[in-house]
Structure 1
Amino acid sequence: EVIDSIAAAVRELVENSLDAGATRIVVSVWPEQWRLQVADNGTGMDLENLQQAASPHSTSKITTEADLYKIATLGFRGEALHSLAQLGCLEVLSRPNDLGLGDFWENRESAPNPPSSSLLRGGAQNARSGWRVVYNNAGSAVEVETAAIAPGTVVTVDNLFGNWPVRRSFLSAAQQMRSIQSILQQIAICHPHVNWQLRQGNTPCFHVTPGSTAEHILPQFVRGVRASDLQYLKLDLPASPENQKAGNLLVETQLVGSTVKHNYQLPIASSQFQIPNSQFLELVVGLPDRCHRRRPDWVKVGVNRRVVRSPELEQTILSAFARTCPRDRYPVCFVHL
């Protein structure tokens, strides 16, 4: 895995959090100390997975060869944590969420049908312990101990690039923070259901509250854009026979994996992890008469919950808006397939 900056490390850890079904992700960065931490409320890891998490090519997201043809997660190669262990001091705290709800303890009182007190007591008694594991540069666990943490995972990387000092000479602390903020913005518009926080040390510098679509996310970090300036459109696209077959195969693989391997953690299809037997196109467009930019910096294209570079499609969007935007102005547009 190519990790050449703090921003690249943050991206890898955040994508792991999303694959774990997290709905709240807090990123803390100490750029002068080359230290970062990503905390989430995802499914967490048990001790067996945690001890192997930083081993090369170790992943719980695929279990069979057939999984490679229907990747449903943002990562699957098992290289990110191993690379971070080689580049710095890696520590992971994790506790499985036995009840299967990312925000169970937060939302139990405000839920429409709150769980009974007996369920709360039973869930607390049956919850597994959290664990703290420290890894050496080879990705092997060298310290293992119990830890009192909420369900989820906290990954800390200290002294990043300590053994590769040349990597530290390219970007200043301010440039690193701008890169991290840009990466989180691009990920946030593809995952609007997540609550995002970015801190530089103990100082909050970026916060995105969750929404149902990217239409509710963009105004939070694109300066001068209001929700009333945006138009949202969602189109359901006909599914091809190949996609229907892939969706059915994904369900079969998940059922087999969860039966054969007790710690199988590939996300089961839900509103956040959809089975790919249907396709849809999301479009968020700024109304040209009142929402435009001096630069073409907010024409974004996303595919499968990840922003990608597509110069041909981006140029097509710019050409389509050339006659409607004011002179020397560019549109605000996000297309997600």
Structure 2
Amino acid sequence: MALMSDGLTVVPLPIEMQRAIAAAETLDSLATIAQELVENALDAGASRIHVHWNTAAWRLEVTDNGEGIRPADLSQVALPYTSSKLPATGELADITTLGFRGQALHSLAQMAQLTICSRHREAETGWQVRYDAHGEVSSQRPLGMAVGTRVIAEQIFQDWPQRQQGVNPKQLQRRLQEIALCFPQVAWHLLKDGKLWCHWPKVASLGDRLLQLIPQLYPQDLRQISDAQIELVLAPPDRHHRPRPDWLGVAVNGRWVELHSDPSWQEVILEAFGRGLPRQRFPLCIAHLRLPPAAIDWSAEPQKRRIYLREPEQWQSLLVERIGQLLARPATPLSYAGSYQVLRAAEPAARYRTLLSQKPNLSQPSLPPLKVIGQLHNTYIIVEQPEEIWLIEQHIAHERVLYEQIEADWQVVELDKPVLLESLTDAQGQRLQEWGLAIAPFGVQVWAVRSVPALLRDRPDVAAALIELSQVTDLTAAKVAVACRSAIRNGTPLTLAEMQTLVEEWYRCRQPHTCPHGRPICLQLRESSLARFFRRHWVVGKSHGI
């Protein structure tokens, strides 16, 4: 019903207007049309899906090898609010299919000329059915075809020219990529104007699919974990990071979605990566949650791409835990299309020399043989492995160790005598107070500091360090600054015992891939790469190179 602007009369909306509004809400773009048709194919058990987009004819064709549609059902599939996907209970809380609203094909019949060709797996022949704008059958005939379904939508948005102007093929491609990530066991074949657009053969896992979609990736760049509740793939920050959060997302039960919660899921993932990424860079991290249907509140949001979870904290905690597990995995042998790799390593914290007392960590993994053999340019620690040589930059490795310790235990200690800071603004002084430092005015723009972070207490440059701290914006950045200033400097000679201690403590860090600024810590040289460079596989006496 609608209230007239003058407040005089209430009248029902014309039926055609009702249908147009419903159709526009259901299918708001070409990408959404493709998504609805592809999800129907997946619900039908398809293992191969072909999508052909003809730009000039505004024609979209989706073909699958699913179980097909029964002939009797073909006359009803485009009618409003008809669905074959409701659970036996008829309850929204029990839905396990991708589609359930019963509006997609009916809306498509209004927005395009709709034809469906389908042969059910129990039928001897297929049928071709054309539909009018109301979803009623306008013509039908038998058709010889393989088991499966082909949906053809022509002259899409012919009565919505503004929608045609807003069509973006990249948005269509992206939407199909997101669906393909959720269904790696399905082969995808995309055509655009009769030419091959994308081809993604079926693969075993979400990680394998990512390798198809992002050509810059190598298998060694990814880590993945899969269990009954979650399939998670990420790239350690020393291997791959991105300028935009374009591959930072969450899928639920086969559907790439926006999850509503506070904090947002993107914030949760970024927090789980901690200070391991360079500034203004984002991780590659895809999580596919496998949740019981009752965990989703379908009544809170009608759009399928935006859903609410009933207990988001539970699933966010699971995601953070799994991200931590992947980022803390021990190093594994690598093979890379080049002569070097960047290391992966393992779990939490200790301390270099006697800067802070070492704390036991019951979850620490057993160390592999980490044999330090020397120091290069008083900067790089050389570690010999059975099949590798590692070069570890000592300053940023120590910085990572210190950062994780003060992140877990931010200690502020008293000074024997106060330090005076000049030209400090009130905002800077207040910032240091908020971080637990004892600081008070001592004149015009002069402040007396009586307690400092523990790592800075005995430093001769403590005043400069405190001014630097006062200039950062948050406590996390302050901890990074303290760790960086306190770490051993490059150019410092170390004994073998000191280097061995540092390497072992770094290897146990929670996120050993990068320093808190996002710089990679370790370069890994494979023995096989060295052998190829020095041609040790040549047979003496038979090679012209000897």
Q: Measure how far apart 1:207 and its partner are.
A: 1.2
Q: Does structure 1 conserve the Cα–Cα contact (< 8 Å) formed by 2:58 and 2:156?
A: yes
1 CA distance for matches of 2:40 and 2:246? 27
Q: Measure how far apart 1:85 and its partner are.
A: 0.5
Which residue pairs with 2:253 in the alignment? 304
Which residue pairs with 1:73 in the alignment? 97
2 CA distance for matches of 1:17 and 1:85? 18
2 CA distance for matches of 1:63 and 1:48? 20
Higher Cα Rg, which structure: 2
Aligned counterpart for 1:225 among listed residues 212, 217, 222? 217
Query: Within 5 Å, which residues of 2 pair with 1:178-257?
Result: 178-236=170-228
Q: Does structure 2 conserve the Cα–Cα contact (< 8 Å) formed by 1:6 and 1:34?
A: no
1 CA distance for matches of 2:253 and 2:134? 32
| Alignment partner of 1:336 is 2:292 | no
- Identify the range of structure 1 (310-319 vs 83-92) with the bigger mean alpha-carbon deviation: 310-319
1 CA distance for matches of 2:267 and 2:87? 40
2 CA distance for matches of 1:296 and 1:223? 17
2 CA distance for matches of 1:133 and 1:66? 28
Secondary structure in structure 2 of the residue aligned to 1:187: helix
Which residue pairs with 2:233 in the alignment? 284
Aligned counterpart for 2:276 among listed residues 317, 320, 324? 324
Query: Within 5 Å, which residues of 2 pair with 1:83-162?
Result: 83-98=107-122, 127-162=123-158
Letter in 2 for 1:202: G
Q: Measure how far apart 1:52 and its partner are.
A: 0.8
Q: Does structure 1 conserve the Cα–Cα contact (< 8 Å) formed by 2:71 and 2:120?
A: no
Letter in 1 for 2:285: C
Q: Does structure 2 conserve the Cα–Cα contact (< 8 Å) formed by 1:82 and 1:139?
A: yes
Which residue pairs with 1:10 in the alignment? 34
User: For 1:191-232, what per-residue CA distance to the aligned partner results, in whole angstroms no more than 9, with x for missing partners?
Assistant: 111101111021011111111210110011124112221111
Q: Does structure 2 conserve the Cα–Cα contact (< 8 Å) formed by 1:291 and 1:331?
A: yes
Q: Measure how far apart 1:296 and its partner are.
A: 1.7
TM-score when scaled to structure 2? 0.46
Secondary structure in structure 2 of the residue aligned to 1:52: coil
User: For 1:141-195, what per-residue CA distance to the aligned partner results, in whole angstroms no more than 9, with x for missing partners?
Assistant: 1111011111100000001111222322333xxx2x1011100111111111110
Aligned counterpart for 1:43 among listed residues 59, 62, 67? 67
User: For 1:50-79, what per-residue CA distance to the aligned partner results, in whole angstroms no more than 9, with x for missing partners?
Assistant: 111111111112275534331010111211
Seen in structure 2, the aligned counterparts of structure 1 residues 287 and 63 have a Cα distance that, compared at 3 Å, is: closer
1 CA distance for matches of 2:135 and 2:239? 52
Which residue pairs with 1:274 in the alignment? none
Q: Does structure 1 conserve the Cα–Cα contact (< 8 Å) formed by 2:114 and 2:154?
A: yes
Which structure exhibits the higher relative contact order, with contacts defined as CA atoms closer than 8 Å and separated by 6 or more residues? Answer: 1
Q: Does structure 1 conserve the Cα–Cα contact (< 8 Å) formed by 2:87 and 2:94?
A: no
2 CA distance for matches of 1:95 and 1:200? 25
User: For 1:4-25, what per-residue CA distance to the aligned partner results, in whole angstroms no more than 9, with x for missing partners?
Assistant: 2221111110010011010100
1 CA distance for matches of 2:280 and 2:28? 35
**% identical equivalent positions:** 41
1 CA distance for matches of 2:186 and 2:237? 28
Q: Does structure 2 conserve the Cα–Cα contact (< 8 Å) formed by 1:188 and 1:194?
A: yes
Seen in structure 2, the aligned counterparts of structure 1 residues 307 and 188 have a Cα distance that, compared at 3 Å, is: same
1 CA distance for matches of 2:162 and 2:241? 40
1 CA distance for matches of 2:28 and 2:219? 36
2 CA distance for matches of 1:233 and 1:8? 30
Query: Within 5 Å, which residues of 2 pair with 1:16-55?
Result: 16-55=40-79
Q: Measure how far apart 1:129 and its partner are.
A: 0.7
Letter in 1 for 2:157: F
Query: Within 5 Å, which residues of 2 pair with 1:166-181?
Result: 166-171=162-167, 175=168, 177-181=169-173
Which residue pairs with 1:59 in the alignment? 83
Q: Number of paired residues?
A: 262
Which residue pairs with 1:110 in the alignment? none
Letter in 1 for 2:153: V
Letter in 2 for 1:169: Q
Seen in structure 2, the aligned counterparts of structure 1 residues 63 and 193 have a Cα distance that, compared at 3 Å, is: closer
Q: Does structure 2 conserve the Cα–Cα contact (< 8 Å) formed by 1:49 and 1:60?
A: no
Secondary structure in structure 1 of the residue aligned to 2:265: helix
Structure 1: stretches of 5+ with no match in the other structure: 99-126, 237-279
